[in-house]
Structure 1
Amino acid sequence: MFDVRDDAGFVRFDRVQKSYDGVSLVVKDLNLDIARGEFMTMLGPSGSGKTTCLMMLAGFETATSGDILLGGKPINNIPPHKRGIGMVFQNYALFPHMTVGENLAFPLEVRGMGKSEREAKVKRALDMVQMGAFAGRRPAQLSGGQQQRIALSRALVFEPELVLMDEPLGALDKNLRERMQYEIKHIHENLGVTVVYVTHDQTEALTMSDKVAVFDDGRIQQLAPPDVLYEEPENAFVAGFIGENNTLRGRVTRIDGDICTVRLDDGGAEVQALRVNVEGEGARTTLSLRPERVRIAAPEEEVDNAFDAKVAELIYLGDHIRVRVKVAGNDEFIVKVPNSAKGRRVSVGDALRLGWATQDCRALDPS
């Protein structure tokens, strides 16, 4: 179980569990603190528990056990509309019979705000997302990206301290989705509002977040800033879920401080790796290695962990070439070669000599 504590946590999940049938837990003993002003992303595959956590925080689901606190106060028994939380959904959830301005004014009217103050806040919120000229239109007259901007501004219009976002960009095309990622991040930085964001898109999580909580099987597998999550995965699930990753499997034959020697299953070759999450000598392990950390070495060059490989496929991706090779029994081993005029050109069928630094190869659990 992953357990993280911070006495200054603005949002706190304290031993929270959730079951829909009274038997199976979809969220298991969740302990998590989110600091005020932080952009926290809950990332994971379908069924991992991330959306259930968000819905419990919003008040649309009830925790089976444990406490959820906001600003130090338990909110388990407070209905959603009294929690003062902004919410952005993937399907926008705009009222189709209202204009854009009326959609934004609605949460202010519910809070008993006067007309002049409502108008000022609606204008400010629309200007924030560059939609000030669209106040008189109805949602059906807007594109998907414009509707999402309106949904975002409606969540912010009453100036909540906490905003929850559930896969808000999932319905947008790639270019618009990427642009909206930066816009949401910039709005967060300007306002200082706390954001809890749910997605299954790893690139989205890495781009936007201060911290990312990676969920699987109802638990947080790792909680860290994006760069740490990518560069220093703590287990095989995180290594495989975040970014592209090469894996080699074998058994630990020797441990020397932070370094271990692993005999690979195929052919018995040995690899030196950083010991991260292995039980001890004789234990099974999965080696994790990012494609960009693998080098194509000259025949006479001295490199760590040198292996002979054969090129099986080349994919041109603009700034780099994705080279799939067969090495050490792995037919899906990937090397990323920068697309430089000075870089070595390779062709399908070429024999290569690969190498990588011991510190870049992480020995993890055998899962």
Structure 2
Amino acid sequence: MVPEVVPDTEVLVSFRGVQKSYDGESLIVKHLDLDIRKGEFLTLLGPSGSGKTTCLMMLAGFETPTHGEIRLNGALLNHVPPHKRNIGMVFQNYALFPHMTVGENLAYPLKIRNFSKSDIDAKVMHALSMVKLEKLAHRYPAQLSGGQQQRVALARALVFNPQLVLMDEPLGALDKQLREHMQMEIKHIHDSLGVTVVYVTHDQGEALTMSDRVAVFKDGIIQQIDSAYNLYEAPVNSFVASFIGENNTLEGEVQSLQDGLCQVKLGDGIGLTAKAVCADRAGARTTMSIRPERVRLNGASEQCANRFQGKLQEFIYFGDHVRLRMDVAGNPSFIVKVPVSELDGSWSVGDSISLGWNPEDIRALDPLNP
């Protein structure tokens, strides 16, 4: 992936040619070139073992790059110890001192930075007010709920006004409802303070909800770094298309290319037209990607350039919509999303239903199984 060019005045953190190996042989991070902009909320997203947490740990100072440079505001960080980097850190397990009160936990990073007592008291109360815990300053961590402990950990990371805050799966231990509430709370705090946040998660919904940009990792390499909208609507390869959101795939062979579109023959001989993204030559194998909500059914499909018959296999109810699992062009797990208000009550499992989509809605990408 070619790194984008960002003006130096906008860059807070830069990775250049960064690699990381723990055994001297296999690379966990293979070659990272990345600029993190001042004030942005950047999420590192990927499956376990993809290298995202290792990148965060190198930025925090808990790991050292095997090769390459990491700079903060232009200053080389590679061998600067963690406590001298002016970086706040929030962990999944909170990492609060159990023998200290909430107020003492927040005061600790200020004391080691030699703030005066009056400044410490003012900054602690201000940080607690940001997370709405002013009344709990004298409690101990064990007397708090998981959500309250995570708020304390967030306040402690912000209390000394760091230029950068790193968050490593900070909401992973919370239940779904609380996690979603904390996502919005963290995003609102970020918006109000303007601090730069680098956030690590394997939860794609969390990444899409909170981030200005998302870097999608696989096997130690960033596959795509972009806005949530572009990652979902314009994935650059099959991994990103499959990892971000729900996705239907169809396998085929490129027959011809013209004006940014390609003609593709599926395994059963049926042809369709797709947007040529990775497909660059006739005869190449391609995996095509189409989102479930882009598929049109029955009468709505009549004006679509690509039309098929699908066999209805299953109804999956999701409250505001129903997902229809269908057998389409050799894919027995093809999903179509239908709002409940548009569901045809006459449909039954086993029915043959007309469906279709437009060429710009299906992307011809690299083969998932080359």
Q: Which TM bucket (shorter chain)? A: over 0.9
2:260 partner amino acid: D
Tell me if 1:338 matches 2:339. Answer: yes
Greater displacement, 1-10 / 242-251: 1-10
- Determine the structure 1 residue equivalent to 2:44: 42
Alpha carbons 2:90, 2:154 under 8 Å: kept: yes
Any idea what the Cα deviations from partners look like across 1:127-153, whole Å, max 9, x if unmatched? 000111100000000000000000000
Greater displacement, 303-312 / 195-204: 303-312
Alpha carbons 1:2, 1:222 under 8 Å: kept: no
Tell me if 1:153 matches 2:172. Answer: no
Tell me if 1:107 matches 2:109. Answer: yes
2:286 partner amino acid: T
Query: By how many angstroms is 1:212 displaced?
Result: 0.2
User: Structure 1 residues 221 and 253, CA, compared in 2 at 3 Å: closer, same or farther?
Assistant: same
- Determine the structure 2 residue equivalent to 1:295: 296
Q: C-alpha separation between the residues in 2 aligned to 1:157 and 1:168?
A: 17
Alpha carbons 1:299, 1:353 under 8 Å: kept: no
Alpha carbons 1:311, 1:348 under 8 Å: kept: yes
1:359 partner amino acid: E
SS of the equivalent of 2:185 reads helix
Alpha carbons 1:291, 1:336 under 8 Å: kept: yes
- Determine the structure 2 residue equivalent to 1:6: 6
Give the number of equivalent residue pairs.
365
Q: C-alpha separation between the residues in 2 aligned to 1:154 and 1:362?
A: 45
Any idea what the Cα deviations from partners look like across 1:272-324, whole Å, max 9, x if unmatched? 10001113111000000000000112399332211001110101111110100
Query: By how many angstroms is 1:2 displaced?
Result: 4.4
Any idea what the Cα deviations from partners look like across 1:171-196, whole Å, max 9, x if unmatched? 00000000000000000000000000
- Determine the structure 2 residue equivalent to 1:119: 121
**Runs of 4 or more consecutive aligned structure 1 residues displaced over 4 Å after TM superposition:** none
Query: By how many angstroms is 1:7 displaced?
Result: 3.2
Alpha carbons 1:2, 1:220 under 8 Å: kept: no
Any idea what the Cα deviations from partners look like across 1:46-77, whole Å, max 9, x if unmatched? 00000000000000000001000001111111
User: Structure 1 residues 343 and 313, CA, compared in 2 at 3 Å: closer, same or farther?
Assistant: closer
1:161 partner amino acid: Q
Structure 2: gaps of 5 or more residues: none
Equivalent residues in 2 for 1:223-302, closer than 5 Å: 223-265=225-267, 267-298=268-299, 301-302=302-303
1:318 partner amino acid: G
1:189 pairs with 191, 194, 199, which one? 191
Tell me if 1:67 matches 2:38. Answer: no
Aligned residues with identical type, % of pairs: 63
Alpha carbons 2:301, 2:356 under 8 Å: kept: no
Tell me if 1:211 matches 2:213. Answer: yes
Alpha carbons 2:301, 2:354 under 8 Å: kept: no
TM-score (normalizing by structure 1): 0.98
2:92 pairs with 90, 102, 117, which one? 90
- Determine the structure 1 residue equivalent to 2:130: 128
Alpha carbons 1:15, 1:65 under 8 Å: kept: yes
Q: C-alpha separation between the residues in 2 aligned to 1:163 and 1:209?
A: 14
Q: C-alpha separation between the residues in 2 aligned to 1:12 and 1:294?
A: 41
Query: By how many angstroms is 1:4 displaced?
Result: 3.1
SS of the equivalent of 1:298 reads helix
Kindly report the root-mean-square deviation, in angstroms, between the aligned alpha carbons of the 2 structures: 1.1
Alpha carbons 1:2, 1:221 under 8 Å: kept: no
SS of the equivalent of 1:306 reads strand
Query: By how many angstroms is 1:348 displaced?
Result: 1.5
Q: C-alpha separation between the residues in 2 aligned to 1:301 and 1:233?
A: 27
Q: C-alpha separation between the residues in 2 aligned to 1:5 and 1:34?
A: 11
2:313 partner amino acid: A
Q: C-alpha separation between the residues in 1 aligned to 2:92 and 2:34?
A: 24
Greater displacement, 296-305 / 94-103: 296-305
- Determine the structure 2 residue equivalent to 1:364: 365
Alpha carbons 1:297, 1:303 under 8 Å: kept: no
Q: C-alpha separation between the residues in 1 aligned to 2:352 and 2:275?
A: 27
Alpha carbons 1:259, 1:275 under 8 Å: kept: yes
User: Structure 1 residues 300 and 139, CA, compared in 2 at 3 Å: closer, same or farther?
Assistant: closer
Any idea what the Cα deviations from partners look like across 1:228-251, whole Å, max 9, x if unmatched? 110000000000000000000010
Any idea what the Cα deviations from partners look like across 1:174-222, whole Å, max 9, x if unmatched? 0000000000000000000000000000000000000000000000000
Alpha carbons 1:4, 1:31 under 8 Å: kept: no
Greater displacement, 237-246 / 345-354: 345-354
Q: C-alpha separation between the residues in 1 aligned to 2:24 and 2:53?
A: 19
SS of the equivalent of 1:348 reads coil
Query: By how many angstroms is 1:350 displaced?
Result: 1.7
Alpha carbons 1:311, 1:352 under 8 Å: kept: yes
